[in-house]
Amino acid sequence: MNKNKLFKFLSLILGLAVLVSCSNFFEPSSRDDGGTYITVDLEGDMRTLLPAASQFTKYTLKAARETQSETINITSMPQRITLSPGTWTIDAEAFVTVNGEQVSAAAGSIVVSDLAAGENRAVSIRLAMPDTQGTGIFDYTVALPAIPFNSAKMILTPLFGSPRTDIEYDLLNQLSGKNFLPSGYYLLRTIMEYNSLKAGKVEVVHIYPNMDTRAVYEFSSGDFIEQKVLIWQMYASSVDSTSTNGAVSHNFVELYNPTDAEINLAGYSLQYGYVGKDAEENPVYPDNYHDDIAWEKLDLSGTIPAHSSFLVLGKLWNADSRLDLGELIPDQAWDIAFENRNFKFCLIKSTAVLMVQNPFDINGDGSGVRAAGYVDMFGGINSNKPKDRDIINGYEGPKSYWDTKNWPEIVSKQKAARRINLVDTNDNTLDFEPIDYRPSGITDKQLPLYQPKNSDYGPWDPVAVPEILILQAYGTGTASDGSVSHNFIELYNPGKKDISLAGYSVQYSTSGASWNKLNLTGIIKAGHSFLILGAKNNTAARLQIAEITADMIWPGQVFDNKKFKIALVRSTDTLLAANPFNTGSGNPVAGYVDMVGAVNKASDGDVIDAFEGSGSNGPELISKNKSARRKTVIDTNSNVDDFEGIDYRKAGIADDALAAFYGPKGSVYGEWDPKYTPPPPVASETPIVILQAYGSGGKIDAAVSHSFVELYNTTDSAINLSGYTLQYSSKGTSWDVLPLTGSIPARTSFLILGKQSNNTGEVLPRVVLADDDFDTADQAWDIDLSNDAFKICLVHGTNPITTVNPYVAVIAGYVDMLGAGTADGFEAAPAAGISKQKTARRKTLTDTNNNAADFEIIEYRAQGGLSAEELLFYQPKNRFYGSWTPVRTAQSAQGLLILQVYGPGNSKDSDGVVTDGAVSRSFIELYNNTDTAIDLGTYSIQYSEGGNNWDKLNLSGIVPAHTSYLILGAAHNTAPRLTLNDNEGDKIWLGKDLSRERIKICLLSNQTLLTTANPYNDGSPVSGYVDMAGSGNNDNETHIDAFENSGDSDLTSCPQLLSRQKSMRRKSLIDSNNNRVDFTSIDYRAEKTNDDLLKIYRPKNIAYGIWDTVTAMD
- DSSP letters, 900-940, are EEE---S---TTS-----SBSEEEEEEEE-SSS-EE-TT-E
CATH T-level assignment (fold) for domain 688-881: Immunoglobulin-like (2.60.40)
Please state, for a pLDDT cut of 90, what percent of the chain lies above it. Answer: 35
- Cα separation, 905 vs 997, in Å, equals 7
Strand partners, 937: none
Contact 600, 624 (CB under 8 A): no
pLDDT given at position 510: 97
pLDDT given at position 140: 86
3-state secondary structure of 503: coil
pLDDT given at position 40: 54
Burial of residue 325 (number of CB atoms within 10 Å: 0-12, 13-18, 19+): buried
Q: Which of 596-600, 1001-1005, 1068-1072 is predicted least confidently?
A: 1068-1072
End-to-end Cα separation, the chain, in angstroms:
70
- Cα–Cα distances in Å, from 126 out to 25, 56, 129, 599? 19, 14, 10, 78
Residues 6+ apart with CB under 8 A from 188: 49, 154, 155, 156, 202, 203, 204, 205, 215
724 against 260, higher pLDDT: 724
pLDDT given at position 213: 77
Per-residue confidence at 385, pLDDT binned at 50, 70, 90? low
Extended beta strands in 58-166, E state = 58-65, 68-74, 79-82, 86-98, 101-115, 120-127, 135-143, 151-158
Most confident segment among 478-492, 757-771, 879-893: 478-492
CATH number for the domain running over 135-224: 2.60.40.1120
510 against 641, higher pLDDT: 510
Q: Where are the alpha helices (DSSP H) in 302-441?
A: 399-403, 428-431
pLDDT given at position 345: 96
pLDDT given at position 914: 52
pLDDT given at position 15: 19
469-669 homologous superfamily: Lamin Tail domain (2.60.40.1260)
Contact 805, 827 (CB under 8 A): no
Q: Is 1024 left (phi over 0), alpha (psi -120 to 50) or beta?
A: left
Per-residue pLDDT of 1078-1093, as tens digits, reads 888 899 988 888 887 8
Contact 1106, 961 (CB under 8 A): yes
At 429, give phi and psi (nearest 5°): -70, -25
Most confident segment among 195-199, 463-467, 1082-1086: 1082-1086
> Does 34 score more than 60 pLDDT?
no
Q: Where are the domains of the chain?
A: 18-127, 135-224, 225-464, 469-669, 688-881, 893-1104
771 against 994, higher pLDDT: 994
pTM metric for this prediction:
0.36
> Does 963 score more than 70 pLDDT?
yes
State CA 500 to chain mean position distance: 21
- Cα separation, 874 vs 703, in Å, equals 13
Per-residue confidence at 677, pLDDT binned at 50, 70, 90? low
> Does 466 score more than 70 pLDDT?
no
Give CA angle at 835 (830, 841), nearest 5°. Answer: 55
340 against 224, higher pLDDT: 340
Secondary structure of the chain: what % helix, strand, coil (to 5)? 10, 35, 55
pLDDT given at position 445: 60
- The total number of residues shown for the chain amounts to 1114
Identify the DSSP state of 1053.
Answer: G
- Cα separation, 620 vs 578, in Å, equals 20
- Cα separation, 1092 vs 33, in Å, equals 108
Per-residue pLDDT of 780-828, as tens digits, reads 999 999 999 999 999 999 989 988 889 887 788 889 999 999 998 998 8
- Cα separation, 573 vs 519, in Å, equals 9
Contact 690, 818 (CB under 8 A): yes
Per-residue confidence at 1038, pLDDT binned at 50, 70, 90? confident
- Cα separation, 333 vs 270, in Å, equals 12
Query: Could you tell me which of 697, 652, 627 has the C-alpha nearest to residue 824?
Result: 652
Identify the DSSP state of 1085.
Answer: S
pLDDT given at position 150: 78
Burial of residue 80 (number of CB atoms within 10 Å: 0-12, 13-18, 19+): middle
Contact 435, 413 (CB under 8 A): no
- Cα separation, 1097 vs 1100, in Å, equals 9
CATH T-level assignment (fold) for domain 18-127: Immunoglobulin-like (2.60.40)
pLDDT given at position 909: 43
Identify the DSSP state of 200.
Answer: E
Q: Which of 96-110, 183-197, 635-649 is predicted least confidently?
A: 96-110
User: Do the domains 688-881 and 18-127 match in fold?
Assistant: yes
Q: Which of 41-45, 121-125, 501-505, 736-740 is predicted least confidently?
A: 41-45
> Does 1004 score more than 60 pLDDT?
yes
At 530, give phi and psi (nearest 5°): -140, 120
Handedness of CA 1103, 1104, 1110, 1114 (dihedral sign): positive
Class of the domain covering 225-464: mainly beta
pLDDT given at position 222: 54
- Cα separation, 120 vs 85, in Å, equals 11
Which amino acid is it at 13?
I
Which amino acid is it at 407?
W
Per-residue pLDDT of 1046-1073, as tens digits, reads 544 455 567 888 888 999 998 878 787 8
pLDDT given at position 388: 53
pLDDT given at position 364: 75
Per-residue pLDDT of 275-322, as tens digits, reads 765 544 444 333 444 445 579 999 999 999 998 999 999 999 888 889
Count helices and strands in the chain by DSSP H and E runs: 10, 64
- Cα separation, 348 vs 371, in Å, equals 8
pLDDT given at position 486: 96
Q: Which of 423-427, 965-969, 1093-1097 is predicted least confidently?
A: 423-427
3-state secondary structure of 1095: helix
pLDDT given at position 9: 20
Per-residue pLDDT of 826-842, as tens digits, reads 988 899 889 988 999 99
- Side-chain-side CA neighbours of 622 within 13 Å: the count stands at 31
- Cα separation, 758 vs 784, in Å, equals 10
Contact 423, 396 (CB under 8 A): no
Per-residue pLDDT of 233-272, as tens digits, reads 999 987 776 677 889 999 999 999 988 889 999 999 999 9
Per-residue confidence at 774, pLDDT binned at 50, 70, 90? low
